[in-house]
């Protein structure tokens, strides 16, 4: 069955570059980002994991843990990490899951479809994980899912922006508009009546339409 937003993220045990983990226990009371890459020792993946290593402190400030995954064994991850540091200037300090049996990849639907007309099952071309991202809350529920093709590197600044939005909207009864960035105006959630909004936002709001109530970022 396909995973959906608000589903409990499937729990699993796995070997990582930082030893064995039980996923839910590892998350603890934090937010978490589980992201897969197709293959170690490949160019796009090298840039992605290097960038995540660079901005990990930003996620840490947001109480958000990072964990990577591919179908490669842990030993390969550890050797490849040296290449990442050498070429990208940052050594991944977050754990990377080794998933050579595809157990976690299948659990999270991270594999591409089988090639049309193939009767032999998966081939080398589709036996690697696509570029999936799962943001998981402290309640262990999936908050966001993104999937990119193998040839397209992700914009992890966008993942950071989304975490900011989700943490803000989880704490306050607001939603964030298109292209929102922290500090910019937000929208009062549609579930909040005008009567309740007056209590929550005593400074008032702009309303070009009754359903579009714009207020300042509560954290600003």
Catalytic site includes residue 45: yes
Contacts 24+ apart (CB under 8 A), 208-216: 212/187, 213/187, 213/188, 214/185, 214/186, 214/187, 214/188, 215/174, 215/185, 215/186, 215/187, 215/188, 216/185, 216/186
Please pick, among 14, 32, 45, 96, the residue that the annotation labels catalytic: 45
Prediction pTM value: 0.91
How is domain 172-215 classified at the CATH fold level? Antioxidant, Horf6; Chain A, domain 2 (3.30.1020)
Q: Does the domain made of 13-153 have the CATH classification 3.40.190.10?
A: no
How does pLDDT run along the chain (220 residues), one tens digit per residue?
589 999 999 999 999 999 999 999 999 999 999 999 999 999 999 999 999 999 999 999 999 999 999 999 999 999 999 999 999 999 999 999 999 999 999 999 999 886 544 444 444 455 689 999 999 999 999 999 999 988 999 999 999 999 999 999 999 999 999 999 999 999 999 999 999 999 999 999 999 999 999 999 998 8
Each domain of the chain, given as residue ranges in start order, spans: 13-153, 172-215
């Amino acid at each position: 069955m396909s995973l959906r937003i608000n589903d409990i993220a499937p729990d699993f045990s796995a070997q990582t570059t930082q030893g064995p983990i039980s996923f839910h226990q590892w998350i603890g009371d934090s937010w978490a980002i589980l992201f897969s890459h197709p293959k170690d020792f490949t160019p796009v993946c090298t840039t992605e994991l290097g960038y995540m290593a660079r901005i990990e402190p930003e996620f840490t400030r947001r109480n958000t843990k990072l964990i990577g995954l591919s179908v490669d064994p842990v030993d390969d991850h550890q050797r490849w990490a040296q290449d990442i540091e050498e070429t990208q200037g940052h050594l991944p300090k977050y754990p990377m899951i080794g998933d050579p049996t595809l157990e976690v990849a299948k659990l999270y639907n991270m594999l591409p479809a089988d090639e049309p007309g193939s009767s032999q099952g998966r081939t080398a071309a589709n036996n690697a994980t696509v570029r999936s991202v799962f943001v998981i809350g402290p309640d262990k529920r999936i908050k966001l899912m993104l999937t990119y093709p193998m040839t397209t590197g992700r914009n992890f600044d966008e993942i950071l922006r989304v975490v900011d939005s989700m943490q803000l909207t989880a704490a306050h009864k607001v939603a964030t508009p298109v292209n929102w960035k922290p500090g910019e105006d937000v929208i009062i959630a549609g579930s909040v009546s005008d009567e309740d909004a007056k209590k929550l936002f005593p400074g008032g709001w702009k309303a070009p339409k009754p359903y579009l109530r714009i207020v300042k970022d509560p954290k600003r």
